[in-house]
A and B are shown apart, each in its own frame.
Chain A
Amino acid sequence: GQQLNQSPQSMFIQEGEDVSMNCTSSSIFNTWLWYKQDPGEGPVLLIALYKAGELTSNGRLTAQFGITRKDSFLNISASIPSDVGIYFCAGHGGSQGNLIFGKGTKLSVKP
């Protein structure tokens, strides 16, 4: 079945640093999404990407839909302590497809 490889698995950075994480797939997706999960909570949608090459920002977050439609990246600029959590990429193959989730990138920020 479809799988997503998300990297890195975890990151431990200093407050103020920029962060970059990415996701690759063995197959093409029509939509890429990035979710964030805080401890003890369900994931919350951060950014949705619908078109190959699309670059979208949401505050300090920027995400891109890869040209090949098999990858996406998420950047966080000037990280702050509340950025801590697990970031999941997710791909959607089409109108009837299920969301496929990556295994997550755990972000820890040192003040």
Chain B
Amino acid sequence: GAGVSQSPSNKVTEKGKDVELRCDPISGHTALYWYRQRLGQGLEFLIYFQGNSAPDKSGLPSDRFSAERTGESVSTLTIQRTQQEDSAVYLCASSDEAQGFRNEKLFFGSGTQLSVL
């Protein structure tokens, strides 16, 4: 597609349930990022995928958070046993990067607004 696509755009869940968020990056973009944006806050880095390299998981806040990416395409972010503090907008971004060099020009999706009741 023309841009980064995320689904669902909104997700309401009950505390303790698992949720899965999806991201379709721009075709041909090798790098994919997940960020979390809490209300009124900046973007908090979660995880980074680049090609076949091991992902950079240094931003994941707990072991309830995990993410996968199939090749250089779709990525899913999974949050297990959701808590109220997980409520936020989860943004995905992709960029066209050479191996070993991070490109700061990220293209963002519109995000998934997650609300945990």
Give me the interface of A with B, judged by CB distance under 8 Å: 4, 6, 31, 33, 40-45, 48, 88, 90, 92, 95-104
Do the beta carbons of A103 and B102 come within 8 Å of each other? no
| B83 contacts the other chain (CB 8 A) | no
Q: For residue A98, which residue of chain B has the nearest CB? A: B45
| B110 contacts the other chain (CB 8 A) | yes
Do the beta carbons of B102 and A97 come within 8 Å of each other? yes
| B8 contacts the other chain (CB 8 A) | no
- Given contacts A42-B93, A43-B43, A88-B42, whether A98 and B59 have CB atoms under 8 Å apart is yes
Do the beta carbons of A45 and B105 come within 8 Å of each other? yes
Determine the chain A residues whose CB is within 8 A of the CB of B63 once the complex forms: none
Do the beta carbons of A101 and B43 come within 8 Å of each other? yes
- Given contacts A33-B104, A95-B101, A98-B102, whether A103 and B41 have CB atoms under 8 Å apart is yes
Would you give the shortest CB distance from A3 to chain B, in whole angstroms?
10
Determine the chain B residues whose CB is within 8 A of the CB of A45 once the complex forms: 105-107
5 CB < 8 A contacts A-B: A33-B105, A88-B43, A97-B102, A98-B45, A99-B45
Do the beta carbons of A48 and B43 come within 8 Å of each other? no
- Given contacts A33-B104, A48-B104, A95-B100, whether A42 and B110 have CB atoms under 8 Å apart is yes
Chain A to chain B: the 7 pairs with minimum beta-carbon distance, closest first: A42-B108, A101-B42, A101-B43, A103-B42, A92-B104, A98-B45, A95-B101
Do the beta carbons of B104 and A95 come within 8 Å of each other? no
Bits for B57-88, please: 1 = Cβ < 8 Å to A, else 0: 01100000000000000000000000000000
